[in-house]
C-alpha cells in the first residue's frame, strides 16, 4: 500500500525540517528503510518566491510506520551531534598544498 492509498491508515507528521535539503535527506533515509514518506513544504508555497528550498518542510508517514520512522530520525540526531567534533578533528588542508 502506498502513502496515497490510505483508506484505513492515518497519516501522521513525523518531522519538521528547516529546509528542503534536510527534508529530502531524511526522506531518503526513511525510504531506504522501506517506509512510505510524504514531504510537504511550508511557507507561502513554491510559486511565491520562486523556490521553497529555504522554507520549513514537513515529513509525514503512515501511522503504522510512525514509531519506526521516529527511531530512524532520532538515530540521525545522535549522528548530527557528533558533526562539530568531527569537523574540529578533521585534517586542515592548505589550499597551496593542493595544486
| Per-residue pLDDT, 61 | 93
Question: In terms of Cα–Cα distance, which of 23, 21, 25, 96 is closest to 57?
Answer: 23
pTM of the model: 0.67
Residues in contact with 24: Cβ distance below 8 Å, sequence separation at least 6, in sequence order: 39
Mind listing the domains of the chain with CATH numbers?
A: 11-89 (3.30.70.1530)
**From first to last of its 99 residues, what are the pLDDT tens digits of the chain?**
455 555 678 899 998 888 888 889 999 999 999 999 999 887 665 555 556 666 788 899 999 999 999 999 988 876 666 555 544 454 455 555 444
What pLDDT is stored for residue 37 in this prediction? 95
Find all residues with CB under 8 Å of 84, minimum gap 6, and list them.
none
Amino acid at each position: 500500500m502506498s502513502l496515497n492509498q490510505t483508506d484505513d491508515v492515518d497519516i501522521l507528521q513525523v518531522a519538521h525540517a528547516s529546509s528542503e535539503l534536510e527534508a529530502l535527506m531524511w526522506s531518503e533515509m526513511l525510504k531506504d528503510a522501506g517506509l512510505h514518506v510524504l514531504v510537504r513544504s511550508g511557507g507561502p508555497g513554491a510559486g511565491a518566491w520562486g523556490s521553497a528550498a529555504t522554507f520549513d518542510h514537513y515529513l509525514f508517514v503512515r501511522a503504522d510506520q510512525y514509531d519506526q520512522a521516529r527511531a530512524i530520525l532520532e538515530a540521525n540526531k545522535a549522528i548530527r551531534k557528533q558533526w562539530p567534533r568531527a569537523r574540529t578533528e578533521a585534517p586542515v588542508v592548505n589550499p597551496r598544498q593542493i595544486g
